[in-house]
Structure 1
Amino acid sequence: MIADYTEAPVCHVDDLVDGELKEVRVGDTDVLLARADGQYYALFPKCSHYQGPLVKGLLNGHRLVCPWHNACFDIRTGHRLEAPALNGLPTHEVRIENDQVFVRLTTNQESLENPMVTPDEAITETYVIIGSGGAGAFAAEGMREGGFAGKIVMLTESGEAPYDRPNCSKDYLQGKAPDEWMTLRSEEFYQDYGIDVRTGQHVTSLDPVTKRIELASGEAITYDKALLCSGGKPNALPGIDVDLKGVYSLRSLHDSQTLRELGKQGKRVVIIGSSFIGLEGAMSLRKLGSEVDVVGLENTPFEKILGEKIGRVIQGWHEKEGIRFHLGRKVAHIEGEGTVNAVVLDNGERISADFVLLGLGVKPRTDFLKDIPFEKDGGVKTDAYLNVKDGLYAAGDIAHYPTNDGFQRIEHWKVAGQQGHVAGLAMAGKEESYQAVPFFWSNQQGKRINYVGHATKVDEIIYEGDPEKDDSFLALYIQDGQIKAAAGLKRDQDIIAIRELMHEGRMPAVETARDGVKWVKELKKA
Structure 2
Amino acid sequence: MIAEYAESPVCRVDEMADGELREVRVEDTDVLLARANGQFYALHPKCSHYEGPLAKGVLHGNRLICPWHNACFDVRNGQRLESPALNGLTTHEVRIENEQVFVRLTSNVPSRENPLVAPEEENPETFVIIGSGGAGAFAAEALREGGFTGKIVMLTESGEAPYDRPNCSKEYLQGKAPDEWMPLRTDEFYADYGIEIRTGQHVTSLDPAAKRIGLASGDTLTYTKALVCSGGKPNVLPVPGAELEGVYPLRTLHDSQKLRELGKQGKRVVIIGSSFIGLEGAMSLRKLGSEVDVVGLEKVPFEKILGEKIGRVMQGWHEKEGIRFHLGRKVDQFKGNGSVNAVVLDNGEKLPADFVLVGLGVKPRTDFLKDIALEKDGGVKTDGFLQIAEGLYAAGDIAHYPTDDGLQRIEHWKVAGLQGHVAGLNMAGNEEPYRSVPFFWTNQQGKRINYVGHATKIDDIIYDGDPENDDNFLALYVQDNQIKAAAGLKRDQDIIAIRELMQEGRMPSVEDARKGVEWVKELTV
TM-score by length of 1: 0.99
Aligned pairs for 1:8-27 within 5 A: 8-27=8-27
Counterpart in 2 of 1:117? 117
Counterpart in 2 of 1:489? 489
Counterpart in 2 of 1:86? 86
Aligned pairs for 1:47-66 within 5 A: 47-66=47-66
Kindly indicate whether the alpha-carbon contact (under 8 Å) linking 2:439 and 2:451 is maintained by their aligned counterparts in 1.
yes
Say which SS state the counterpart of residue 236 (structure 1) adopts. Answer: coil
CA distance in 2: counterparts of 1:242 and 1:436, whole angstroms: 39
Say which SS state the counterpart of residue 160 (structure 1) adopts. Answer: coil
Counterpart in 2 of 1:415? 415
Residues 2, 473 of structure 1: alpha-carbon distance in 2 compared, 3 angstrom cutoff:
same
Structure 1 outlier segments of 4+, above 4 Å:
none
Counterpart in 2 of 1:262? 262
Gaps of 5+ in 2: none
Aligned pairs for 1:331-410 within 5 A: 331-410=331-410
Specify the code of the residue in structure 1 equivalent to 2:299: N
Deviations 1:275-315 (A, max 9, x none): 00000000000000000000000000000000000000000
Kindly indicate whether the alpha-carbon contact (under 8 Å) linking 2:58 and 2:523 is maintained by their aligned counterparts in 1.
no
Kindly indicate whether the alpha-carbon contact (under 8 Å) linking 2:162 and 2:185 is maintained by their aligned counterparts in 1.
yes
Deviations 1:474-507 (A, max 9, x none): 0000000000000000000000000000000000
Aligned pairs for 1:169-248 within 5 A: 169-241=169-241, 243-248=243-248
Residue 524 of structure 1 deviates from its aligned partner by 2.7
Provide the identity percentage.
79
Aligned length: 524
Residues 285, 465 of structure 1: alpha-carbon distance in 2 compared, 3 angstrom cutoff:
same
Kindly indicate whether the alpha-carbon contact (under 8 Å) linking 1:450 and 1:495 is maintained by their aligned counterparts in 2.
yes
Specify the code of the residue in structure 1 equivalent to 2:518: V
Counterpart in 1 of 2:164? 164
CA distance in 2: counterparts of 1:132 and 1:243, whole angstroms: 27
CA distance in 2: counterparts of 1:500 and 1:453, whole angstroms: 11
Aligned pairs for 1:291-302 within 5 A: 291-302=291-302
Say which SS state the counterpart of residue 337 (structure 2) adopts. Answer: coil
Specify the code of the residue in structure 1 equivalent to 2:220: A
Counterpart in 1 of 2:135? 135
Counterpart in 1 of 2:153? 153
Residue 242 of structure 1 deviates from its aligned partner by 5.0
CA distance in 2: counterparts of 1:265 and 1:297, whole angstroms: 28
Deviations 1:189-208 (A, max 9, x none): 00000000111111011110
Counterpart in 2 of 1:524? 522
Of stretches 2-11 and 151-160 in structure 1, the one that deviates more from structure 2 is 2-11
Counterpart in 1 of 2:38? 38
CA distance in 2: counterparts of 1:206 and 1:59, whole angstroms: 43
Kindly indicate whether the alpha-carbon contact (under 8 Å) linking 1:164 and 1:182 is maintained by their aligned counterparts in 2.
yes
Specify the code of the residue in structure 1 equivalent to 2:184: L
Counterpart in 1 of 2:433? 433
Residues 449, 43 of structure 1: alpha-carbon distance in 2 compared, 3 angstrom cutoff:
same
Kindly indicate whether the alpha-carbon contact (under 8 Å) linking 2:45 and 2:53 is maintained by their aligned counterparts in 1.
yes
Kindly indicate whether the alpha-carbon contact (under 8 Å) linking 1:135 and 1:418 is maintained by their aligned counterparts in 2.
yes
Kindly indicate whether the alpha-carbon contact (under 8 Å) linking 1:498 and 1:523 is maintained by their aligned counterparts in 2.
no
Deviations 1:396-421 (A, max 9, x none): 00000000000000001000000000
Kindly indicate whether the alpha-carbon contact (under 8 Å) linking 2:241 and 2:333 is maintained by their aligned counterparts in 1.
no
Residues 193, 240 of structure 1: alpha-carbon distance in 2 compared, 3 angstrom cutoff:
farther
Residues 4, 525 of structure 1: alpha-carbon distance in 2 compared, 3 angstrom cutoff:
closer
Counterpart in 2 of 1:505? 505
TM-score by length of 2: 0.99
Kindly indicate whether the alpha-carbon contact (under 8 Å) linking 2:241 and 2:335 is maintained by their aligned counterparts in 1.
no
Residue 244 of structure 1 deviates from its aligned partner by 1.1
Residue 2 of structure 1 deviates from its aligned partner by 2.5
Say which SS state the counterpart of residue 189 (structure 2) adopts. Answer: helix
Kindly indicate whether the alpha-carbon contact (under 8 Å) linking 2:60 and 2:523 is maintained by their aligned counterparts in 1.
no
Say which SS state the counterpart of residue 94 (structure 1) adopts. Answer: strand
Residue 337 of structure 1 deviates from its aligned partner by 1.1
Kindly indicate whether the alpha-carbon contact (under 8 Å) linking 1:508 and 1:522 is maintained by their aligned counterparts in 2.
no
Counterpart in 2 of 1:453? 453
CA distance in 1: counterparts of 2:520 and 2:371, whole angstroms: 49
CA distance in 1: counterparts of 2:520 and 2:109, whole angstroms: 37
Kindly indicate whether the alpha-carbon contact (under 8 Å) linking 2:459 and 2:477 is maintained by their aligned counterparts in 1.
yes
Aligned pairs for 1:271-310 within 5 A: 271-310=271-310
CA distance in 2: counterparts of 1:108 and 1:300, whole angstroms: 49
Residue 525 of structure 1 deviates from its aligned partner by 4.6
Say which SS state the counterpart of residue 304 (structure 1) adopts. Answer: helix
Deviations 1:67-95 (A, max 9, x none): 00000000001000000000000100001
CA distance in 1: counterparts of 2:2 and 2:372, whole angstroms: 55
